[in-house]
Amino acid sequence: MLNSMKVANRIRDYRNKNNLSQEDLAEIIGKPRSSIAQIELGNRKVNIEELVAIANALKIEVTHLLFGVSTKKNTSEVLKEDLSDNKVFFYEKFKNTLLYILERCGGRANIGETVLYKLLYFADFNYFERYNNYLTGATYRKLPHGPVPYEFYDIVNNMIENKELKIIQSQYHGYKQTRYFPLINANLELLKASEKNVIDKVINQLSEYSASEISDYSHGDMPWKQTKEYDDIDYNLVSKRKAPYKNIN
């Protein structure tokens, strides 16, 4: 989950653009007005289900709330094409990489949203380091707790609507945790042996880390270190990696 004042401010700004009061928005998404007020003040965390509900109520994409993206493209177009450098984004490859990771380790108590983000990041960046080619082509942004895949929320929302994935809110060591469980099997025919090998090694190396441990680990990776906060992380920065990140595959 994200707890950013920028997200809170965007919710307020888009609500005002739609000429909705806090009470109006609260009624549409089925929450008390006090919840909207606390969200917009940055005092309350927003989970993915709430983000999706708010975005739908405001007639925008979730990515508008997360990153301030303004585009005339529809969701399906955004999912197929990265907005930077016209880099191709492989929707089905990302979806099945996500499903495969969840099949392998999603049942572990520590695999919440934060850990999942980092497993996807290292799978993508480790593959690029080794083969100079994209695994999923996802765009990762530098957020305070580590890299986050830009396309994640729209894909997950589509998968939930298609009954391919479900979300469970739980508690882990006293903290709220968002967990994802697959309702279908990954299509392994879409993953090459080299891609599956890299994903497996990332899972074996990092899937037992806690959210704080894997966030701290991601902050030591050179692509992360050389990127400004909230900017996209350049895949080519893997060339500047040092141990223990370099050549770990």
188-229 residue pLDDT tens:
999 999 999 999 999 999 999 999 999 999 999 999 999 998
CA distance 93 to 136: 5
Kind and range of the H or E element at 149?
A: strand 146-149
Query: Position 17: which residue type?
Result: K
> What pLDDT score does 202 carry?
97
Instruction: Kindly state the tokens that stand for 181.
Output: 């469980």
> What pLDDT score does 87 carry?
52
Task: Note the CATH number of domain 5-70.
Answer: 1.10.260.40
Positive or negative CA dihedral for 142, 148, 154, 157?
negative
Residues contacting residue 156 through CB under 8 Å, at least 6 positions apart: 48, 165, 167, 180
Positive or negative CA dihedral for 35, 230, 246, 192?
positive
Cα separations in angstroms, 104 against 95, 114, 172, 189, 192: 14, 17, 20, 16, 17
CA distance 19 to 38: 19
> What pLDDT score does 69 carry?
58
The CATH 1.10.260.40 portion of the chain extends over: 5-70
Segments in the chain forming alpha helices (H): 5-17, 22-29, 33-40, 48-57, 62-67, 75-80, 91-105, 113-131, 152-161, 193-206, 211-218, 222-225
> What pLDDT score does 173 carry?
79
Token pair 């469970």 is at which residue? 168
Series of mean pLDDT values for 10-residue runs along the chain (249 residues): 70 90 91 87 76 87 72 43 52 95 95 95 97 92 90 86 90 83 95 96 96 96 93 94 80
CA distance 116 to 180: 9
SS3 177: strand
Nearest to 106 by CA among 191, 166, 196, 147: 166
